[in-house]
Amino acid sequence: MARRSLSKDTTTVRQRLDGHAIVLVGLMGAGKTTVGRRLAEKLGLAFVDADHEIELAAGQTIPEIFARHGEAYFRDGERKVIARLLENGAQVLATGGGAYMNGDTREAIRRHGIAIWLRADFDLLMRRVRRRSNRPLLQNADPEAVMRKLIEERYPVYAEADLTVDSRDVAHTSIVNTIIRNLARWPGWDRLHNAQS
């Protein structure tokens, strides 16, 4: 029964998207790329990673952009790349942790898609980000203090997203299924479609 219901929900989400993007927001380590890739596969949509697209456009890695040009330069490029990507219609778009902090980016996402906040607690985030060394904001003496500050600053803004789904230490498929069920029952579809009419 649950499997059939999920299949029905998946079909419902596909139909209702009607050219709009599903945009994953949240802190580094929340699972936006991994969950996003699986979500796109389940919905039969393209998966796009904004950070990867920024690196392609700049011809540099994100740590290199931060080191050579600074965060403000990176954020401006990020805003432009995400605005361009949102013009591509139905897709699953994973954004970098700071992208949703930009008011222009939040408005562009609101016009062209559905923002889903993958919310994760401090311990889970730290366990995940310690596995990778390519996080420019954590390249300092006290990465835990930086992460706590990011949570304090960003979580109230992430809370403006259309849907919130908790990223837990479970199989990614479980998170994907939760997203699909929540999307199928999301009351904001009319708002989304009216915004473009």
| Residue 37 counted as domain residue | yes
We report the CATH number of the domain holding residue 27 as 3.40.50.300
Q: What is the pLDDT along the chain (197 residues), one digit of tens a residue?
A: 455 588 999 999 999 999 999 999 999 889 999 999 999 999 999 999 999 999 999 999 988 998 899 989 999 999 999 999 999 999 999 999 999 999 999 999 999 999 999 999 999 988 888 766 555 555 666 788 888 999 999 999 999 999 999 988 888 899 999 999 999 999 998 877 776 65
| Residue 157 counted as domain residue | yes
Confidence (pTM): 0.92
3-class SS of residue 111: helix
| Residue 196 counted as domain residue | no
d(C-alpha 84, C-alpha 138), whole Å: 28
What is the CB neighbour count within 10 angstroms for residue 31?
22
| Residue 122 counted as domain residue | yes
| Residue 136 counted as domain residue | yes
CB 48 within 8 A of CB 88: yes
Instruction: Count structural domains, the chain.
Output: 1
| Residue 29 counted as domain residue | yes
**Residue 97: which domain range?**
2-190
| Residue 195 counted as domain residue | no
The amino acid at residue 94 is A
What is the CB neighbour count within 10 angstroms for residue 84?
12
